[in-house]
Structure formats: C-alpha cells, structure tokens
C-alpha cells in the first residue's frame, strides 16, 4: 500500500512538473509592458525598452545614462531581450507574437514595416505631431530622414537610428614601411601593389608573413576600380545594391579587380587565410600585432585599438599611420559610402503600450536642444568642458574609456552602440574620439566618405530579395574566389561562364528589385 | 472494464502518465504548428490569423534549381557520415570487448567517450588548429615529409572527409556503448561451447558476437537513417567558407539563409516547409528500411 501511495504521489509530481513549462507567463513576473507608470497625477514617467544585452550593459556603464533619465524626466527600464543581434531580433519576433513585448523596442526596419502594417506597433506620426514637437521639427527639416522612416501607407512605425558618417580606411605599420625603404606612401593601386611586394621581400624571414592582412570579406577597393554598386544620375541602379558597398559585375573594373586580387594571391601579397575565409578576427589582430602583416583596411578607430592593445608591447617600434584612399583607375578621387540610417535599428512602440506619454516625452527630449547637447557632448564638467565660445573640450579620453572592460563605468560617449534615435552630429562625434583618430578622420571623411542612398523595400520585395541573395551571395563569392585562387583561369570563356552563373543565381532579378524599390521611392 | 483496468494496471498507468503527458504536449501537439508551412506566417498574426498560401512554399523550394544542388550536397554528406560512422562503433566495441585488462578497457572506453561532451564550436576549433596551413600539426608533418602544406579547411574536396572525421571522433565512443551493453547480454555458454569445439577468438567474434549484435545494429541503422537528411547545421556553418560552398552548402544552411537572411524579414513558413519535406523523406526511408530489414534479417524496429 505504502509503495502504491509513493508511486502515485511520484507520478502526480512528475505529471505536474512536466506541465509546468506549459505556462505562458510566469505568474510572479510582471509583464514588462505594464511595468511603467503612466503620466498624470504627478507620477514619474517611465517605460520599458527592449534591446540586446550588450547594448544594455554598455548603456548602463555610461556615466550619463542616469542623467539622461533625470534631465528628460523619464525613467527607462532597459529589458535585456537577447544576447547577440541575431538572437535579439529573433526574440523580438517571438515577443511580438506572444504579446509580451515591452513598451518600446529596437527592431529591424523590415520588422518595423511588416509588423507595423499588421498592427503590432503604433503609428508614431500622430503621436509625434501631438506630443513631440522637437521630433516633428527635425522630421520636417530633414526630408531624407522622413523618407526612410515613412512607410508606403504614409505611417511612421519606427524612428531609425542615424549613423555618424565614417567608413573603413587603410592603415599601415609605418615602422615596417620605413624598414623596407618605402618612403613614398602609395596613392594608386599600382603603387600599393609595388609597396606590398617591397614589404613581402623585406619580411621574407618572418614566418607566416603576408603584407596585407584583414578580416571578413577581402574584396576591398571596388570604389577604386569603379565597380561598386551605384545609382547613376539618371536613376539606374547598377549592381546588387548595397549602399555603395556591393559590386557591379558588369562594370569594366570588376574583372580588373578580380585579376588584381589573383595577382596579390599568387604573389603572396595578401593573407590567403583571409581570402579563403578561414581566418578569424582574432587571428587577424594577432597577425597585425605580432608583425605578420603590415597593412589593413578596416574600421577607422582600429589604429588606436592596435596601439592600445599591445602593439608597442610586442614591438617598441610599432607605429601605425593612415594612408589616403587610392585614386580610381581613372585617376579621380574615390568615394566610400556608409548608411545614413541604420536599418537594423528602428525604434518602435508596441501597440499595447500604456506609457506612450513617457515614450514620446523621452524621444522628444532626445531631439531637444538640451537632449542633443547631452547626446553629443555628455555632461558639462564630467565628459566635456563647455568653453566660452560655445565649443567643447573633451575631458574624457576616448583611448582610455573605449577599452574599459564591460561592467566598469566609463565617461565615454553615446555612440552607435546605443540604440535611441537622435539627430546625428558628425563633427561632435569626431571630436569625442581620441587625438590620434581625430588627426586623420576629419579630413579623411570629408574627402572620401559620403552617405549612401538607401533603398526601402516592400514586404514582397524583401522576401524575394532575401531568397535570391541566399543563393546569389554564395555563388558570387565562390565564383570570384575560384578566379582569385587560380582554380579557374581568368579568360574570356570562363568569365562569360561566370557571368552566366551569376545570372542563373539571380543577379539581374535582384538588380530589378533594387531598381523597382528606387523607382517607387522616387515616384 | 475501466474499473478492472484501473484495479489491475492502475499503478502502471500512473507511472506511464508523466511520459505520456510529455509526449502529448511537447511532441504531438507541436506537430500542429506544421500548418505554418502552408501559410505566409507572421508571429504577430499567429497560426490562425496568417494568410493561407497552400503549397506555394513547397513550390518555391522544389522549383528552385539550386535546391537540388544543396539536396545533393546534403545527401552525400549524410550518406558518407552514415556509411563511415555506422560500422566504427561496432568495430570499436568488438575490439574493446576483446581487451582482457578490465582497467585498461574502462580507461579506453572513458577516453573515447570524452569528445562527445565537447561543444561543436570547440571541436571545429581544435580541428582547425590541427589542420592549419601555417602551424597545424598535420601540415608540419606533411612539410617534414617533403610535401607542400594543404589548406584543408579551404579545399572543397576536403570538406566532407573532415566533417565525417569530426562526427566520428565526437560520437564513436558514445555510440559504442549500445553495442558494448548488447555484448554483455550474450550468453557466456555460447563462448564456452565454441571453445570446446576449438573455435579461436576470431571465430567466436565472427560466429557468436557479430550475429548477436545484428538486431541492435539493424535497429541503430534504421534510427540513424531517420536523420539522414539532418546534417549538423552548426558544424557545417562553423566549417563553411566561400572556398567550400560547392560541397558544404546543404539544405539547412540554404534554408537558414532564406529564412533568416540578415537583409530580409524572417520567413518561418519556408523553413517549416523544407523541414516537413525532409521529415517526409526521412519517414519514407525509415519505413522502407524497416520493411527491408524485416524481410532480410527478420528484425524490425516496429
């Protein structure tokens, strides 16, 4: 009998426990969307806001995050909704579906437009008109911004986060150049190739040395070969459009570029592991720090990063300089492009949000004079010192603050890592960076960087493009790599076959979708 | 009738209940979600609110010529994985069974088991280090023997052997447990009788151990066949690079890019449609093998 009772009890406990996971909501856990208090009655304004974990941590480390809330009069509860970007966006899909979404969140532009049209997010247009005069003023004064946030039905489902203008740039070990006897810094692709040859010969005894090292995609300088994607003055979209950072395989320079990379590969002037896609970011960093590479074309603050992260410790002569962007093959100044609005960061408000007053008050503060002053220069006396002529002198040293470990408070700068929309000020952004970066970034970006024209797609176009890109991109990179490695001889016959393969993989179809999107935006 | 059943088997039903509930709520009920393969699913609109598109997702998959390229890659990868990884645990178990020193046997078995607990990311990283063209031990050996370095991870021809090798290395110890357990159940009298008849160890393995292992081996084969189209997407993604696309791009990676492409909107329906197709093919394979096995070896899983 005892055994029977014991067995039945055990079975009941197991049955109940195995169903425990079926509960959709933790009874003891408050729904984030109801966490904030509404306005009125003298209560403090507050709202909950979903963002990826690392942005939340960064924001909480920033010294003036608390000030931002105090000055705006709005308390923001940051809700960790996923570790990495991809996991975060997938988690937002689920939260949108489950109705558990916090008051506001950062989502992709595609999520904002599709779920917005389905009713998941509020149309911010009437709310902005009514409750956010500073935001309204900004939108009115910036039609290019309005274009990117207004959906086909005229509604605004999300406010995009603006990017400061920056691009990659080419930096090099000036001590290596000096030792190799290179006195003239290359300004053309031919001179660059020669410099790489000289470096290779000078470092022949260094195990695993390749003059040009890097990470991620290796097909750089398409803008110098005049074969990057573009939109002609007559409105023709060339190539698979990626805001000026993609490729136009029918441009004359594209085949030349592939040929050039083949030369670099054959002559061991470029890191083959990088070209083949087997090298990691850590390996690239190690190679550059330990003298197994002399040149890189990467994020513009990397020279400071390498200098602060062990460069001079490994080699007392370690010194990095930045070189100008090479001329185009026509001898003109080349241009690099960057997105004006980050399409991965659109600020949306849940349709079930009960704290819209708080959300709009905070947004409006971000666009106010006081809000912009804080966003651009931090707190007077802590981050910067406001001078009598109205300019700012930075107290915070970017080189020190930017490498502080996560979890350690810093007096750095509100930059792209953080996810609230606010008017960008490029000059203020550059001024906040360390003196080394400042020494080149103003001129470099003024001469070589531009915002790209961005295309907004319909749901249908997005779906078709996504499906086509899934196939096209692998075929493209594998096809080009075959030429670069020499697996395929680069002759007319093989080149024609390559172009045919790209067509079969959907090149023209993608281009047509891009053209349609452009035409629709300019109708 | 019910009363009698409860009286006689009530305890057994009570014990069965938790498992049954898990099966119903977490295995059978979610199958209803497969309906999104026939919809243009939106998480916000839900299963009942999303637009019904019938077989459109299946048409998209089947009419795409690239699908067949990735199906070929998937089947080849799965085929070689099955063909190579299936007999190795059997052979390993047979060899281990012949080891007379109990402690050594246990140590070897434990060591062979360890890789199973290493995460795929770490396993791929170890493999990359071993075959690195600059300082990997394999290439150093090759260089020492006078051969040029081979960039194993960047040669499409090496993708399948490396994938299969990694799979075997990680799983053979774990898979061998089933066979080792089966061997402990073999009647020792059979071996004694064989010894009296003058059979040597090889003959005993051939005529006693192996035939006794056939039922469990067939069962394991049928179970493995069910997952023939399910290659390890994490492993493939970690090992994949543009140099190996022509052999490493499989159904799962292709659908992952289509369904969760960074530039697009998540297409859950397409992913589900493909998974459903995969499951139907795997189910047909399992049923056919089960039937064939019944005919040839009189061993069925069900």
Torsion angle, CA of A341/A342/A346/A347, rounded to 10 degrees?
-80
**Helix A133-141 vs helix A124-131: crossing angle, to nearest 10:** 110
Residues of each domain in chain A carrying CATH 3.40.190.10: 42-163+340-424, 169-336+455-521
Please state the length of chain B.
302
User: Both tokens of residue A482?
Assistant: 């075959």
Are B258 and A470 within 8 A, CB to CB?
yes
Chain B residues inside the 8 Å CB shell of A272: 133, 151, 154
Chain B residues inside the 8 Å CB shell of A1: none
State the pLDDT at residue A27: 38
Please report, rounded to a whole number, the percentage of residues in chain A having pLDDT higher than 90. 57
Q: How far apart are CA A278 and CA A271, in angstroms?
A: 10
Chain B residues inside the 8 Å CB shell of A472: none
* Minimum mean pLDDT range among A61-65, A192-196, A333-337, B38-42: A61-65
pLDDT tens over chain B, length 302 residues: 778 888 888 889 899 999 999 999 998 998 899 999 999 888 888 899 899 999 999 998 888 888 888 888 988 888 898 889 888 998 898 888 888 888 888 888 888 888 898 899 999 989 988 988 877 899 889 888 988 888 888 888 899 999 999 999 998 888 888 888 888 888 889 889 998 988 888 888 888 888 888 888 888 887 777 777 778 888 998 998 888 888 888 888 888 887 776 566 678 888 889 888 888 888 888 888 878 777 776 767 67
Are A96 and B44 within 8 A, CB to CB?
yes
B249 contact A CB<8A? yes
Q: What CATH homologous superfamily does B55-297 map to?
A: MetI-like (1.10.3720.10)
Fold of A169-336+455-521: D-Maltodextrin-Binding Protein; domain 2 (3.40.190)
Task: Name which of A110, A241, A280, A471 to mutate to probe chain B: the one with the most chain B Cβ atoms within 10 A of its Cβ.
Answer: A471
* Residue in this structure with the two tokens 């490729």, named with its chain if needed: A247
State the pLDDT at residue A36: 46
Pick the residue from chain A with its C-alpha nearest to B30: A22
- Which among A218, A409, A393, A417 has a CA at the least distance from the CA of A301? A417
Q: Which CATH architecture best describes the domain A42-163+340-424?
A: 3-Layer(aba) Sandwich (3.40)
Chain A residues inside the 8 Å CB shell of B133: 272-273
- Which among A496, A335, A467 has a CA at the least distance from the CA of B60? A467
Q: Is the pLDDT of residue A139 over 80?
A: yes
User: Both tokens of residue B205?
Assistant: 């393995």
Question: How many residue pairs bridge chain A and chain B with CB atoms within 8 Å of each other?
Answer: 126
Other Cβ atoms less than 10 A from the Cβ of B220: the count is 19
Are B260 and A86 within 8 A, CB to CB?
yes
Other Cβ atoms less than 10 A from the Cβ of B139: the count is 20
Please tell me which of the candidates B14, B44, B262 has its beta carbon nearest to residue A120.
Answer: B44
Chain A residues inside the 8 Å CB shell of B42: 97, 114-115, 118
Q: What was the ipTM of the complex prediction?
A: 0.73
Q: How far apart are CA B253 and CA B159, in angstroms?
A: 15
State the pLDDT at residue A12: 59
State the pLDDT at residue A25: 38
Bridge partners (DSSP) listed for residue B215: none
Please state the length of chain A.
523
pLDDT winner (highest mean) among A1-5, A43-47, A178-182, B188-192: A178-182
Instruction: List all residues 6 or more positions away from A503 whose beta carbon is below 8 Å from its beta carbon.
Output: none
Are B241 and A276 within 8 A, CB to CB?
yes
Report chain A's mean pLDDT, rounded to a whole number: 87
Pick the residue from chain B with its C-alpha nearest to A292: B134
Average pLDDT over every residue of A107-134: 92
Q: How far apart are CA B162 and CA A27, in angstroms?
A: 49
Are A474 and B46 within 8 A, CB to CB?
no
Q: Would you say A242 and A229 are in contact if contact means Cβ atoms under 8 Å apart? A: yes
Chain B residues inside the 8 Å CB shell of A469: 257, 261, 263-264
In the Cβ-directed half-sphere of A7, how many Cα atoms lie within 13 Å?
13
What does the H/E/C string look like for chain B?
Answer: CHHHHHHHHHHHHHHHHHHHHHHHHHHHHHHHHHHHHHEECCCCCHHHHCEECCCHHHHHHHHCHHHHHHHHHHHHHHHHHHHHHCHHHHHHHHHHHHCCCHHHHHHHHHHHHHHHHCCHHHHHHHHHHHHCCCCCHHHHHHHHCCCCCCCHHHCHHHHHHHHHHHHHHHHHHHHHHHHHHHHHCCCHHHHHHHHHCCCCHHHHHHHHHHHHHHHHHHHHHHHHHHCCCCCCHHHHHHHCCHHHHHHHCCHHHHHHHHHHCCCCCCCHHHHHHHHHHHHHHHHHHHHHHHHHHHHHHCCCCC
Domain boundaries, chain B: 55-297
Please tell me which of the candidates A15, A93, A462 has its beta carbon nearest to residue B43.
Answer: A93
Pick the residue from chain A with its C-alpha nearest to B66: A471
What are the angstrom distances between the C-alpha of B23 and each of A10, A37, B17, B19, B68? Answer: 18, 42, 10, 6, 34
Which phi and psi (to 5°) does residue B157 adopt?
-65, -25
Average pLDDT over every residue of A323-335: 94
Are A481 and B133 within 8 A, CB to CB?
no
Q: How far apart are CA A82 and CA A327, in angstroms?
A: 43
Q: How far apart are CA B85 and CA B152, in angstroms?
A: 21
Pick the residue from chain A with its C-alpha nearest to B47: A97
Query: Which alpha helices (DSSP H) does A336-422 contain, by range?
Result: 356-366, 369-377, 398-401
């Amino acid at each position: 009998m005892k055994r029977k009772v014991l067995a039945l009890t055990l079975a009941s406990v197991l049955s109940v426990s195995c169903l425990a996971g079926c509960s959709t909501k933790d009874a003891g856990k408050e729904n984030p969307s109801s966490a904030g208090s509404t306005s009125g009655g003298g209560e403090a304004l507050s709202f909950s806001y979903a963002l990826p974990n690392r942005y939340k941590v960064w924001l909480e480390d920033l010294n003036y995050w608390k000030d931002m809330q105090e000055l705006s009069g709005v308390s923001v509860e940051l809700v960790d909704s996923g570790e990495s970007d991809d996991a975060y966006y997938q988690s937002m899909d689920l939260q949108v579906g489950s109705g558990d979404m916090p008051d506001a969140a950062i989502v992709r532009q595609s999520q904002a437009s599709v779920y917005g049209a389905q009713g998941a997010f509020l149309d911010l247009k009437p709310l902005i008109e009514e409750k956010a005069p500073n935001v309204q003023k900004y939108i009115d004064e910036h039609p290019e911004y309005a274009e990117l946030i207004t959906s086909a039905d005229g509604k605004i489902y999300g406010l995009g986060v603006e990017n400061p203008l920056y691009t990659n740039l080419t930096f090099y070990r000036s001590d290596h150049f000096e030792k190799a006897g290179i006195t003239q810094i290359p300004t053309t692709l031919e001179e660059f190739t020669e410099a790489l040859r000289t470096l290779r010969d000078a470092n022949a005894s260094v195990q695993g040395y390749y003059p040009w090292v890097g990470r991620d995609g290796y097909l750089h300088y398409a803008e110098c070969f005049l074969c990057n994607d573009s939109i002609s003055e007559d409105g023709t979209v060339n190539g698979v459009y990626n805001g000026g950072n993609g490729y136009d395989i029918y441009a004359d320079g594209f085949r030349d570029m592939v040929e050039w990379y083949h030369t670099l590969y054959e002559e061991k002037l470029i890191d083959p592991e990088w070209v083949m896609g087997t090298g990691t970011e850590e390996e690239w960093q190690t190679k550059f720090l330990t003298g197994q590479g002399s040149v890189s074309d990467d994020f513009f603050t990397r020279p400071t990063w390498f200098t602060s992260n062990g460069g001079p410790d490994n080699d007392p002569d370690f010194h990095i300089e930045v070189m100008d962007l090479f001329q185009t093959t026509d001898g003109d100044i080349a241009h690099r492009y960057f997105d004006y609005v980050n399409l991965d960061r659109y600020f949306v408000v849940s349709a079930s949000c009960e704290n819209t007053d708080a959300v709009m008050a905070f947004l409006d503060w971000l666009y106010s004079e006081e809000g912009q002053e804080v966003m651009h220069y931090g707190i007077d006396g802590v981050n910067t010192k406001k001078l009598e002529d109205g300019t700012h002198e930075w107290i915070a040293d970017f080189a020190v603050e930017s490498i502080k470990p996560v979890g350690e408070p810093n007096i750095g700068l509100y930059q792209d890592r953080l996810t609230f929309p606010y008017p960008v000020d490029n000059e203020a952004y550059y001024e906040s960076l360390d003196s080394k970066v400042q020494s080149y970034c103003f001129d470099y970006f003024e001469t070589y960087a531009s915002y790209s024209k961005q295309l907004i797609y319909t749901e249908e176009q997005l779906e078709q493009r996504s499906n086509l890109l899934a196939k096209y991109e692998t075929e493209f990179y594998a096809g080009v790599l075959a030429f670069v490695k020499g697996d395929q001889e680069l002759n007319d016959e093989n080149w024609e076959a390559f172009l045919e393969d790209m067509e079969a993989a959907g090149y023209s179809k993608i281009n047509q979708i891009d053209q349609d999107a452009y035409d629709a935006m300019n109708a | 009738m019910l009363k009698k059943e409860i009286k006689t088997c009530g305890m057994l039903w009570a014990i069965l209940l938790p498992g049954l509930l898990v099966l119903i709520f977490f295995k059978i009920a979610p199958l209803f979600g497969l309906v999104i393969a026939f919809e243009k699913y939106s998480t916000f609109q839900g299963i009942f609110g999303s637009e019904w598109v019938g077989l459109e997702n299946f048409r998209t998959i089947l009419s795409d010529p690239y699908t067949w390229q990735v199906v070929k890659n998937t089947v080849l990868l799965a085929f070689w994985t099955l063909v190579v990884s299936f007999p190795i645990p059997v052979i390993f178990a047979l060899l281990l069974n012949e080891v007379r020193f109990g402690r050594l046997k246990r140590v070897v078995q434990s060591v062979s088991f360890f890789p199973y607990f290493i995460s795929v990311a770490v396993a791929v990283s170890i493999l990359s280090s071993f075959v690195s063209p600059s300082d990997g031990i394999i290439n150093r050996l090759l260089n020492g023997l006078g051969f040029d370095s081979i960039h194993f991870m960047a040669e499409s021809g090496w993708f399948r052997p490396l994938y299969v090798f990694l799979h075997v290395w990680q799983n053979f110890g774990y898979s061998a447990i089933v066979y080792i357990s089966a061997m402990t159940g073999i009647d020792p009298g059979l071996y004694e009788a064989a010894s009296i008849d003058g059979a040597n160890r090889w003959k005993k393995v051939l005529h006693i151990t192996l035939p006794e292992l056939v039922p469990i081996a067939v069962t394991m084969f049928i179970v493995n066949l069910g997952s023939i189209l399910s290659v390890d997407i994490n492993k493939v993604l970690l090992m994949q690079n543009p140099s190996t696309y022509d052999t490493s791009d499989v159904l799962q990676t292709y659908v992952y890019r289509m369904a969760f492409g960074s530039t697009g909107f998540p297409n859950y329906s397409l992913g589900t449609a493909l998974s459903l197709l995969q499951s139907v093919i795997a189910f047909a394979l399992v049923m056919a093998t089960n039937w064939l096995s019944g005919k040839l070896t009189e061993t069925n899983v069900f």
